Amino acid sequence: MGCRAVFLDIDGVLTISWRALPGAAQAVRQLRDAGLAVAFLTNTTSRTKAAIGAALRSAGIEARDDEIITAATIGAAYLRRHHPGARVRLLNSGDITADLPDVRWAAPDEQPDVVVLGGAGPEYSHAALTQVLRDVLAGATLVALARNFYWATSEGMALDTGAYLAGLEQAAGTRAEVVGKPAPAFFSAALDLVGVTAGEALMVGDDLTSDVLGAQAIGLTGVLVRTGKFRADALTAAGGTPDHVVDSIADLPALLAAVGSER
């Protein structure tokens, strides 16, 4: 079955610190010109979906807001389905409340029913993380929008939520519900968005576990790029193998053409 849709991670694949990587804009144009559906799948929670769309367009990358799926939008759907009416406390670097429109936020002096961890940043202070621990020990459900351990910035790698989440889970004796990539529901939402089956879609990412192996687990073709957070040692030590590895997003159109000709 041929490829009809391409799903693209953003951070580390198309941009670094919201600056387009070489060839990214042209590659997206080539995908569209080839008649492929394109969607952008990101665990980034520092910006709303609308702000991410604006940032991509400012970087010269053609992207509509309705083609973007974020961990926050998936998280909102998860909360509506599994915790309707719950009092929620959010720890996140960046204001994403616009993407969580139906959430009932807990007051500062209230015990929340759910604690949601978004992206890490200066807000992840000792006091804030201690409060999360206390909330969970008092009975709150722990939900994480992603479990990424680090991401690439223009200044180098930066710690992400997963590095803190592991300690919180150990301290509280619990396991968080993770709704962002590599959760199957995330990729399923993208398939529903563009109207294709898993066998007709390809996922491109710089995170072998969250992007590539997660997508492959539900039947998508996975492509790992050697940009962003890519590390050769992580690829060697991984518990799975990507379907394809390319140097960068700029090489994707040629890969698709080669795979298509083989078929």
Two structure tokens written together for 17 = 């610190």
The CATH number assigned to the domain holding 95 equals 3.40.50.1000
Q: Where residue 261 falls among pLDDT bands split at 50, 70, 90?
A: low
- Is 164 in the same domain as 105? yes
Instruction: Write down the pLDDT at residue 259.
Output: 78
Instruction: Identify the sign of the CA torsion 145, 242, 248, 204.
Output: negative
In this structure, which amino acid lies at residue 112? P
6, β-bridge pairs = 38, 202
Q: How many CB atoms lie within 10 A of CB 72?
A: 30
Q: Where residue 260 falls among pLDDT bands split at 50, 70, 90?
A: low
Instruction: Write down the pLDDT at residue 163.
Output: 96
Total structural domains within the chain: 2
CB 14 within 8 A of CB 8: yes
Instruction: Write down the pLDDT at residue 233.
Output: 87
Task: With respect to residue 50, please indicate whether it lies within any of the assigned structural domains.
Answer: yes
Task: With respect to residue 102, please indicate whether it lies within any of the assigned structural domains.
Answer: yes
Q: How many CB atoms lie within 10 A of CB 10?
A: 25
Mean pLDDT of the chain: 95
Where would I find the H helices in the chain?
A: 24-33, 49-58, 71-82, 126-137, 161-172, 184-194, 214-217, 232-237, 252-262
Residue 235 pLDDT > 90, yes or no? Answer: no
Domain-terminating residue out of 178, 203, 235? 178
- Is 65 in the same domain as 188? yes
- Is 97 in the same domain as 167? yes
Q: How far apart are CA 203 and CA 184, in angstroms?
A: 13
Domain-terminating residue out of 178, 209, 242? 178
Residue carrying structure tokens 């990101």: 42
Q: How far apart are CA 240 and CA 208, in angstroms?
A: 9
Residue bearing the bigger pLDDT, 161 or 260:
161
Residue 19 pLDDT > 80, yes or no? Answer: yes
Two structure tokens written together for 171 = 């301290």
Instruction: Write down the pLDDT at residue 263.
Output: 52
Task: With respect to residue 61, please indicate whether it lies within any of the assigned structural domains.
Answer: yes
Instruction: Write down the pLDDT at residue 212.
Output: 96
- Is 204 in the same domain as 152? no
Residue 198 pLDDT > 80, yes or no? Answer: yes
Backbone angles phi, psi at 61, to 5 degrees: -100, 120
Domain-terminating residue out of 137, 161, 178? 178
- Is 174 in the same domain as 201? no
HSE (side-chain half, CA atoms, 13 Å) at 72 = 26
- Is 61 in the same domain as 92? no
Q: How far apart are CA 220 and CA 16, in angstroms?
A: 25
Cβ partners under 8 Å of residue 200, min gap 6: 1, 2, 3, 4, 5
* Domain span holding position 133: 84-178
Q: Where residue 228 falls among pLDDT bands split at 50, 70, 90?
A: very high
In this structure, which amino acid lies at residue 114? V
- Is 187 in the same domain as 170? no
Q: How far apart are CA 8 and CA 205, in angstroms?
A: 7
Q: Where residue 237 falls among pLDDT bands split at 50, 70, 90?
A: confident
pLDDT tens digit sequence for 117-151: 999 999 999 999 999 999 999 999 999 999 999 99
- Is 59 in the same domain as 185? yes
Q: How far apart are CA 240 and CA 58, in angstroms?
A: 36
- Is 134 in the same domain as 214? no
Residue 188 pLDDT > 70, yes or no? Answer: yes
Cβ partners under 8 Å of residue 166, min gap 6: none
Q: Where residue 236 falls among pLDDT bands split at 50, 70, 90?
A: confident
Mean pLDDT score, 227-234: 91
Residue 165 pLDDT > 90, yes or no? Answer: yes
Task: With respect to residue 128, please indicate whether it lies within any of the assigned structural domains.
Answer: yes
Where would I find the H helices in 47-160?
A: 49-58, 71-82, 126-137
Task: With respect to residue 79, please indicate whether it lies within any of the assigned structural domains.
Answer: no
